Amino acid sequence: MIRRLFAVLHARNLEFLRDRGTLLFTIALPIMIVIGMGFIFGGPGRPLFKVGVLAAQIDPASDPFLRERYVDFVPLADEAVALKKLTHQQIDLLVDVRAPVRYWVNTDSPKGYVIEKLLLAADSGALRQPVTGAAIRYVDWLFPGILGMNMMFSCLFGVGYVVLRYRKSGFLKRLHATPLTAFEFLSAQVLSRLGLILFVTAVLYMGIGTIIGFHNSGSLALLALLAVLGALSMIALGLTIAARFSSEELVGGLLNLLTWPMMLLSGIWFSLEGAPRWVNWVAHTLPLTHLLDGARAVMLDGAGIRQIAPNLLYLVVTALGFLAFGAWSFRWRID
């Protein structure tokens, strides 16, 4: 069985590596996107101080500091959320103007240092509570999303169209006349694509990470595990579409039907915090959402395996479920 699996795997790898156009495109597209994004979002931030205020809404009359000019005051009711924003330097200072006046400042933030002076000029008795944490730029937040999006396209379309092409050309029918089983064939396709995706993602991670100066807060091994499971789940999802059908139009349409919700709802471009409950529910049925949630938790917050265990579990279950369905519904030939 292993011998047959590797024969198909080796041939598929050769086929892919010699298809220069596809290979180039696979690597070039995400690099171009991220360089573009880095160029747009990675520049200097806006010259405005942003201060979080622990309150449901802000009343400038309650404290002289709230009347400072060139400062954007943002009401934040949840202290935990507000502190996380301060840690990531999404706000420069956090104040609680209810007596006694307290404030939190990120000692790693140069803007925090300046705005602290402004606050102390207005409220000299305010209690200082320091926090630390490096700034998270939008490009840092976007980085896992871009890697995930590239994986999604490569997983769904790479495997889906290859199997469809084999079926239409009659190559699958010829393989069916050998001792090769559907499971062996599908496993070889999954492994070939998985190897490719992991390689491309690793190259992108290192290359783009260097370009944008990204720092990973968590475990690289955990990130790799997440990438393997996420890719497996999405490749298997692509196989469920390609397992049976023989029409490019139908398969293309169905794959698009899968990619669009993931593009919009999985949190590639923007966070879904605050979105309606049903949107969140739909988003969390998509494997990419779990991959990105897990990846951001590891890369940005340094989360461990316990924190992302639900994401990992969801990816394992969906990978197995999709693969089983794909093998069950697999057709070697055009009916």
Partner 1 sequence: MKADGTRRPGRGNFPRHRWTARPRSESARIARQSLEDPAERTVSNPILEVRNLVKQYPTTTAVDGVSFEVPEGICFGILGPNGAGKTTTVEIMEGILPPTAGEVRYRAEPLGARFHEEAGILFQKTALQDFLTVRQCIALFRGLYAKGLDVDEVIRLCALEKLADRDSRKLSGGQQQRLLLAIALVNDPEVLFLDEPTTGLDPQARRNFWELMESIKARRKTIILTTHYMEEAELLCDEIVIMDRGRIIAQGPPRRLLREHFADVLLELPRQDFPERARSLPLKIIDASDRVEITTQDLEGTLRTLLAAEVPLTHLRVRPGNLEDLFLELTGSELRP
d(CA 23, CA 16): 7
Nearer to partner 1, 3 or 69 (CB): 3
Q: Least CB distance from residue 13 to partner 1, whole Å?
A: 11
| Residue 73 backbone zone (phi > 0: left; psi -120 to 50: alpha; other: beta) | beta
d(CA 85, CA 74): 11
Q: Least CB distance from residue 184 to partner 1, whole Å?
A: 9
d(CA 10, CA 36): 35
CB 113: neighbour CB atoms within 10 A? 14
Q: Least CB distance from residue 250 to partner 1, whole Å?
A: 20
Nearer to partner 1, 39 or 328 (CB): 328
DSSP 3-state of 125: coil
Provide the 8-state DSSP code for 134: -
Q: Least CB distance from residue 151 to partner 1, whole Å?
A: 24
Q: Least CB distance from residue 203 to partner 1, whole Å?
A: 22
DSSP 3-state of 78: coil
Nearer to partner 1, 84 or 331 (CB): 331
Nearer to partner 1, 138 or 332 (CB): 332
Q: Least CB distance from residue 173 to partner 1, whole Å?
A: 7
Nearer to partner 1, 164 or 254 (CB): 164
Q: Least CB distance from residue 2 to partner 1, whole Å?
A: 10
Torsion, CA 292, CA 297, CA 303, CA 307, rounded to 10 = -70
Nearer to partner 1, 10 or 67 (CB): 10
Nearer to partner 1, 107 or 178 (CB): 178
One-letter identity of residue 72: D
Residues that bind partner 1 (CB under 8 A): 3-4, 6-8, 10-12, 14-15, 18-19, 166, 169-171, 173-180, 332-333
CA separation, residue 310 to residues 14, 38, 305 (Å)? 37, 31, 9
H, E, C per residue of 219-268: CHHHHHHHHHHHHHHHHHHHHHHHCCCCCHHHHHHHHHHHHHHHHHHCCC
